[in-house]
Structures are given as C-alpha cells and as structure tokens.
C-alpha cells in the first residue's frame, strides 16, 4: 500500500465521519461510573437522547452495535412463537427478519423488490385479515441502508390504526436518526431502534431503544429469555443516572458533545434540511452522469445515502477498488443480492458541501478511470445546485 496523504474520505453510509470535537471528548480519562461526575453526564445524555428521538419515553442505551438494539426490541416485548409482520425492504430488513427466526419468533415477511419502501396498504390488508390478533408486532426499517430507500413511517402508523390492530410498532432508525425527520411519539412507535455510528456522528459501539408505555407493558408478559438486554433493570437504574452494568463511558462523553452539536448548535430541523440538500445534490450528479438512482420512488428517496445502479448491472467492486486506490475515498458496497450491482454514496453525519463535492469528484474521476460508461458533468450539476441553494439562502438572510 502506498502512502496516502491528507484525510481519508469515509463516505460509506455508516460508520460516518466523527467530528474532531467528539473524538477529543472520547479521549478523556475514564471516570468512575458510580461517581457524581458520571451521573451528571449520563443525566444530560439521557435527556438529550429523548429530544433526538422526539419522545417523552425512556431511551435505553446499550454498549453494542445496532444489531444488539434489534435483539433488545424483540426479546423485551415478545414470546416464543409470536407472529411478527416484517417488510422486505432490503438487506437490513432481511437480517432483522433472520434474527426474529433465530430467536424462535414466527416472522411473516411481506415481499418487496428492494426499490420501494414498506407499503402501508399491504400492511393494513394483512393486519385486517388477522381476525384472531395473532400478529404481535409490525417491524419496519425507516431507512434501508442497502438501497437508499425510506419507508413512510407516519403512513404505516395510520395503516395499523385503520386496521384497528393492537400490534406493537417497531422501527429501525439506525441510519436515519438525526439525519432524516423522525418522531417516535407523534408517529406512535412503540420501539425505536438506533445506533451510534451513523447520524449521531460517533464511532460504532452504542445502540438505543426508545420504548413506549405500551412496549413497557408488553415487556411485563413477554417470555423470550433476556438478561443483558433487559429494559427493566436498565430503566430503573437510569432514573438516577446509573447503569446496571458498566456503560461505554468514553463513548457517552462523545455522545454528550454530539447531542449538543445536533440539538443546541445546529438544531434538528437544520440537520434534516442539510441532509435533504446534500441528497438532492448527489441525485443531480447521478442523473447528470446518466446513471440510475436505485430507489424507484422519489417520495422515498433517502436523505442519508444514495445507491447507484452500475450501468450494465455489474462492476461495482472494481469501481470502488479504483476509487479507494486513487483517491483514498471509501464508498458503500452492494450488499447481498446487490453485490457488484450498486455502489452507495453516504452523505450523512458530519458533512458539508465541499465534502460532498470532493466525494462526487472522486466518483466522477473513478468512473472514467474504471472505464464505466457515463457522461461528464455530475459534479458540475451538484455544484450548480449547491451554489444556487447557497445564493437563495444569502438572499433570504439579507431580506430577514
């Protein structure tokens, strides 16, 4: 490997770039997690998390990757053999479904083509058929990170309500929380699953469950075995700022800084607008290159990443190899059935216009170097949009 000068461009859709301030916060001496300094910090962090999830309910923090929070959501609320309705939006939805099977649940998988989000009408129809109320939970991935397709969570909630069905509603927001508008309480979600290494701008290692009162009530009768993932002990200890086992103290230092950046300095609404704007610029680049955006439904475009179909349906692995070797830029790969077929541009987390332009430059040069059929002008199209948007912003500020 030759020496690479300058910064690595980490533009996979998670883990994302960690701000220097967050890294510096993590790089502090570890304190006693049963002492007063820790207690002050964990109270601030647990309160800030509720704002990010837009909930008044408890948010539980596990020292684990996102996969742990998937498991926690299922084992705290369900019993062996319970039916759960899941939706095949892509690779991550499939993994969650596989996990449900391994845990001894009976998942039903609504088939999908991976290019569309969960269909609220299909969920409503299946729930309406379930006269005996055997389905105990509906599980949807908000932002399918393998495809760049979002699901309309508020509409899924309405579909469940139209069917008058009592199932719990669980949503994976691992790659949407703090990037794409999300509201745990308003959308009537019972368990929201999230992780640290995407929109929250931290390294991997923390995962979260926001837990509604209905989910807590379900936990009382749920019979799947659980110990490490048990909400009850966690929530009881959290009330005073403690944890039932050693928390990931230094990641929590980082989370405190990330929450201040998101909530106090930038503001969540601005965070969402920034992501939408970068996503739109990325899509304009893709169209100008003459390439195809993998998401087939514009209402479901992702604000956190854009998946791009390789012309001719192959060559993603070699293309990404060329881009990494020449430009020290990591792009997301095609996962499972999309292997070698799509590459993914992560534009979430701590990110700005020039980072996006640099990323798109690396892609445009890489397409040429790897001999991928395309047109020039993607970067220019993105720049036009970004500069136009910036000019409009200046005008609005001047007028205010």
Q: Which residues pair with 343 in a beta bridge?
A: 308
Nearest CA-CA partner of 255 in 5, 22, 71: 22
Using the rule CB under 6 A, is 248 a contact of ligand PLP?
A: no
Nearest CA-CA partner of 106 in 89, 85, 82: 82
What would the two tokens of residue 198 be?
């995407």
* Rounded CA separation 8/47 (Å): 34
Which lies closer to ligand PLP via its Cβ, residue 163 or residue 295? Answer: 295
From 38-46, 157-165, 170-178, 363-371, span contacting ligand PLP (CB under 6 A)? 170-178
Instruction: Compute the least distance from the CB of residue 160 to ligand PLP, in Å.
Output: 20
Of positions 48, 58, 63, 66, contacts ligand PLP by CB under 6 A = 66
Which lies closer to ligand PLP via its Cβ, residue 175 or residue 364? Answer: 175
Residues in 257-316 that interact with ligand PLP by CB under 6 A: none
Angle between helices 249-259 and 36-53 (to 10 degrees): 50
Residues 271/247, Cβ–Cβ less than 8 Å = no
Site string for ligand PLP, 122-161 (x = CB under 6 A): -------------------x---x----------------
Using the rule CB under 6 A, is 208 a contact of ligand PLP?
A: no
Instruction: Compute the least distance from the CB of residue 67 to ligand PLP, in Å.
Output: 3
Q: In 3-state terms, what secondary structure has residue 301? A: strand
**Phi first, then psi: what are they for 317, rounded to 5°?**
-65, -45
Nearest CA-CA partner of 207 in 187, 241, 190, 231: 231
Give the interface size with ligand PLP as a residue count (CB under 6 A). Answer: 12
Instruction: Compute the least distance from the CB of residue 179 to ligand PLP, in Å.
Output: 11
Which lies closer to ligand PLP via its Cβ, residue 91 or residue 284? Answer: 91
- DSSP H or E stretch at residue 171: strand 168-172
Nearest CA-CA partner of 269 in 51, 65, 122: 51
* Rounded CA separation 70/95 (Å): 10
Which lies closer to ligand PLP via its Cβ, residue 226 or residue 284? Answer: 226
Instruction: Compute the least distance from the CB of residue 224 to ligand PLP, in Å.
Output: 19
Using the rule CB under 6 A, is 174 a contact of ligand PLP?
A: yes
Instruction: Summarize as ranges the residues that interact with ligand PLP (CB under 6 A).
Output: 14, 65-67, 92, 141, 145, 172, 174-175, 195, 204
């Amino acid at each position: 490997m030759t020496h690479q000068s300058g910064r690595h461009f980490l533009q996979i859709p998670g883990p994302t770039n960690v701000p220097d301030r967050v890294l510096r916060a993590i790089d502090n001496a570890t304190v006693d997690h049963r002492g007063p300094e820790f207690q002050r910090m964990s109270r601030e962090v647990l309160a800030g998390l509720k704002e990010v999830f837009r909930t008044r309910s408890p948010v539980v923090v596990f020292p684990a990757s996102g996969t742990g929070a998937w498991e926690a959501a299922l084992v705290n609320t369900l019993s062996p053999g319970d039916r759960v309705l899941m939706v095949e939006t892509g690779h991550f939805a499939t993994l969650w479904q596989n996990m449900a099977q391994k845990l001894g649940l009976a998942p039903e998988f609504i088939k999908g083509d991976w290019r569309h989000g969960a269909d609220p009408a299909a969920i409503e129809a299946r729930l309406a058929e379930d006269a005996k109320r055997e389905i105990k939970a509906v599980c949807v991935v908000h932002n399918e990170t393998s495809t760049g397709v979002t699901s309309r969570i508020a509409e899924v909630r309405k579909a469940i309500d139209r069917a008058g069905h009592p199932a719990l509603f669980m949503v994976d927001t691992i790659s949407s929380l703090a990037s794409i508008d999300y509201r745990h309480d308003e959308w009537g979600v019972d368990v929201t699953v999230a992780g640290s290494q995407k929109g929250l701008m931290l390294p991997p290692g923390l995962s979260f469950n926001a837990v509604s009162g209905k989910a807590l009530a379900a936990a009382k009768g749920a019979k799947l075995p659980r110990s490490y993932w048990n909400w009850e002990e966690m929530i009881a200890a959290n009330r005073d700022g403690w944890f039932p086992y050693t928390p990931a103290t230094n990641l929590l230092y980082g989370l405190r800084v990330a929450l201040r950046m998101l909530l106090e300095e930038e503001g969540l609404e601005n965070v969402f607008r920034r992501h939408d704007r970068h996503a739109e610029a990325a899509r304009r680049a893709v169209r100008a290159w003459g390439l195809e955006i993998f998401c087939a439904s514009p209402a479901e475009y992702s604000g956190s990443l854009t998946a791009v179909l390789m012309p001719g349906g192959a060559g993603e692995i070699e293309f990404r190899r060329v881009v990494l070797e020449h430009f020290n830029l990591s792009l997301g790969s095609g996962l499972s059935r999309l292997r070698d077929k799509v590459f993914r541009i992560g534009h979430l987390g701590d990110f700005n216009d020039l980072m996006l332009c640099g990323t798109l430059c690396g892609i445009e040069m890489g397409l040429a170097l790897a001999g991928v059929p395309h047109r020039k002008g993607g970067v220019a199209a993105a720049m036009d949009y970004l500069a136009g948007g910036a000019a409009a912003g200046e005008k609005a500020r001047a007028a205010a």
